[in-house]
Structure 1
Amino acid sequence: MSGVVVLAGGVGGSKFTLGVRAALATLGEPEATVIVNTGDDIWLSGVRLQPDVDSMIYALAGANDTERGWGRAGDTERVNTELQAWGTGWPWFTLGDLDLGTHIARTGWLRDGLSPTEVLERLSKRWPLGAKLLPMTDDEVDTHVLLKNGERLHFQEWWTRYRAQLPPAGFENPGIAGSFAAPGVVEAIEDADLVLIAPSNPVVSIGPILAVPEIREALRATGGPVIGVSPIIGGNVVRGMADVCLGAVGVRTAADAVAAHYGARLDGGVLDTWLIAEEDAELAASVEALGISVDVVPLWMRDAETAEALAVAAISAGR
């Protein structure tokens, strides 16, 4: 098999991508192309942060902090403390020293005129990542949260400072309707033998990727099957506050409801097959009624072995 493309964001997306990398290596197949969410990017203290992009890089490099779930392993916070002493940045948003090195390098290259795609290519050269990473778009389409009280916050403030406790009325990515897919993204999807949608947050990680018009069109046009992996197990989110995000857009926290949210390709959506957990096996008929085929498999990614097993199941579903 050649031409595997993964759509991913967040910690769940990184874990799944590690499994895909291992599975393809075991099968002797070419490296995957990973299209990463850039909807949660932000300018802070004069530097450009790309949290999902950096989480993917660090995870594939084996340099991520697995306990915190974000940032670099063994990082320190001296610069962050100094920034706060100067009254800049957000006191509740921690930037590690090693992590800041990434942000400063990125910002410098952006100021020199490189595109986010070109910057990510440079960042990817530091470690042997075993995958080709592409941002979903080179346009700035940061996620904003619309609160029920009428206020608007950047996603990072709502997610990190308030831990998604302020009731959201919806999410927006200003300018995304007029954005363009990053160079190479459309071609990768259209030429793919298989497209995998990782078990990332459907609203704020996968949602922005699918909201880029050219990407959604490419998913509709690709000749390869599009296989999605449910981020819901037994009616619960695996981590984070995805249930709050789903509720804000009127989607139940259930595997079949998320499948309906993505929709079947034969009916204007993006899915051909949906992988659900053994705990949700009774929902298979509900998903099939949407025009989406179903595979019931173990979805828990507890370690490298179970992540690879899930990736093998997803690849097998595509075959």
Structure 2
Amino acid sequence: MRITVISGGEPGARFTRGLLDHLEHHPDLGGAEVTVIANTGDDISLWGLRLCPDLDLLVEALGTAGGAGSSHVVGDELAALGLEPQWYPVSDREMGVHVARTAWLGRGDSLSQVTAHLARTRGVPDTVRILPMSDVPVETHVVLDGPEDQRAVHVQQWRRELASPGAARFVVAGLDRAHPGTEVLDAVRSADVVLLPPSDPVLALGIVLGVPGVRDALRGTSAPVVGVSPVVDDVPAPQPLAASLATVGVVTSGGVAGLFKDLLDGWVVDPADAGAAPAGSRWATAAHTAPLAESAPADVAATALAHALSLRS
């Protein structure tokens, strides 16, 4: 079975880790191949280095070479020297990855090649591929309304230093020039199942779907496309998710699903929202057995996968 996951941020990494755990403990699903297509709209250049936060989250979550207890000597030294910015914390282990990635990109390797090498060295299983959505650099910026005018900041600064204030809109630099790699489109077109984790639908999944060709491939795949709601209708969404959803006027689980209405076949929701699917929607809703926010990632992934498999017949 070929499973393709469209991932972004920590929710995507946790969901995918949970999916692997679920597959590992169910022999009937043994041999499944998992391809993760990752958002690279959070990528940023700092201190002369190229940082890819979502790719690194996936490699760390899915690999076996854990980095617990990594020191922060380099980051502390950068701060002591007054090198800006200081709002992006970095461990020595992470700094090593950033230096290596920048060196390999500088010699002409593609981001896909670099990511594959990092995955192998970090112990990501051979049955798992991590693919950047594009090898073309893409960066997301947030336009903020000021007292006199607007200003734009990188999405990383918006989250980490400014604590995700209200945004007027998002601008994704380079997205119009980006193109998915052959492996990305093949992973969607040849999939048996496509899963959308509860990642930010605007700043994670929305960025991946904005790469020319990806959304069309999802519309055209014969695989069922099943997503997991990141929100519960009666519970306010946390920041920065609430701020990103506000830019598209969405607050409910059904509203989030509506952002993917042209490609979605199934939607997994919190039990509290079991009867909240919009009338006439084309997607089949399945309620998880327990509150999504309190459930183990493996259980959430299992529900999404089971729902997708039920839609294949």
TM-score, normalised to structure 1, is 0.89
Q: 1:62 to 1:161 in 2, by over 3 A?
A: farther
**TM-superposed deviation, 1:182:** 2.5
Rounded Cα–Cα distance in structure 2 between residues aligned with 1:302 and 1:106: 36
SS at match of 1:231: coil
Q: Is the 8 A contact 2:227 2:266 kept in 1?
A: yes
Q: Is the 8 A contact 1:21 1:31 kept in 2?
A: no
**TM-superposed deviation, 1:302:** 4.7
Rounded Cα–Cα distance in structure 2 between residues aligned with 1:235 and 1:53: 32
**Match of residue 182 from structure 1:** 181
Letter in 1 for 2:218: L
User: 4+ runs of 1 displaced by more than 4 Å?
Assistant: 237-240
Residue of structure 2 aligned with 1:270, choices 258, 263, 267: 263
Rounded Cα–Cα distance in structure 1 between residues aligned with 2:64 and 2:85: 28
SS at match of 2:40: coil
Rounded Cα–Cα distance in structure 2 between residues aligned with 1:280 and 1:127: 39
Q: Structure 1: which 5+ runs fail to align?
A: 65-71, 264-268
Q: Over residues 11-61 of structure 1, what are the superposed CA-to-partner deviations in whole Å (9 max), with x where a residue is unaligned?
A: 111111011112223221323100111000000001110111101111112
Q: Is the 8 A contact 1:301 1:307 kept in 2?
A: no
Q: Is the 8 A contact 1:235 1:255 kept in 2?
A: no
**Match of residue 170 from structure 1:** 169
SS at match of 2:186: helix
Letter in 2 for 1:295: A
**TM-superposed deviation, 1:175:** 2.3
Q: 1:301 to 1:127 in 2, by over 3 A?
A: farther
1:17 maps to 2:16: yes
RMSD: 1.7
Letter in 1 for 2:247: A
Q: Is the 8 A contact 1:179 1:213 kept in 2?
A: yes
Rounded Cα–Cα distance in structure 2 between residues aligned with 1:8 and 1:204: 11
Rounded Cα–Cα distance in structure 1 between residues aligned with 2:114 and 2:236: 33
**Match of residue 118 from structure 1:** 113
**Match of residue 273 from structure 2:** 280
**Match of residue 69 from structure 1:** none
Number of aligned residues: 300
**Match of residue 45 from structure 1:** 47
**TM-superposed deviation, 1:261:** 1.7
Q: 1:299 to 1:38 in 2, by over 3 A?
A: farther
Q: Is the 8 A contact 1:230 1:277 kept in 2?
A: yes
**Match of residue 300 from structure 1:** 292
**TM-superposed deviation, 1:240:** 4.5
SS at match of 1:262: coil
Q: Structure 2: which 5+ runs fail to align?
A: none
**Match of residue 212 from structure 1:** 211
**TM-superposed deviation, 1:295:** 0.7
Rounded Cα–Cα distance in structure 2 between residues aligned with 1:182 and 1:276: 32
Letter in 1 for 2:34: A
Letter in 2 for 1:282: G
Q: Is the 8 A contact 2:198 2:227 kept in 1?
A: yes
Query: Aligned residues: percent identity?
Result: 35
Q: How does 1:94-105 map to 2 (within 5 A)?
A: 94-105=89-100
1:193 maps to 2:195: no
**TM-superposed deviation, 1:134:** 0.4
Q: 1:316 to 1:237 in 2, by over 3 A?
A: farther
**TM-superposed deviation, 1:157:** 0.7
**Match of residue 32 from structure 1:** 34
Q: Is the 8 A contact 1:5 1:189 kept in 2?
A: yes
**TM-superposed deviation, 1:301:** 5.8
**Match of residue 68 from structure 1:** none
SS at match of 1:7: strand
Rounded Cα–Cα distance in structure 1 between residues aligned with 2:84 and 2:202: 27
Letter in 2 for 1:309: D
**Match of residue 155 from structure 1:** 155
Residue of structure 2 aligned with 1:259, choices 228, 253, 257: 257
Q: Is the 8 A contact 1:117 1:183 kept in 2?
A: no
Letter in 1 for 2:88: F
Rounded Cα–Cα distance in structure 2 between residues aligned with 1:300 and 1:250: 23
1:236 maps to 2:228: no
Rounded Cα–Cα distance in structure 2 between residues aligned with 1:235 and 1:170: 25
Q: Over residues 149-194 of structure 1, what are the superposed CA-to-partner deviations in whole Å (9 max), with x where a residue is unaligned?
A: 31111111111100102x2111111221231013400001000011
**TM-superposed deviation, 1:290:** 2.4
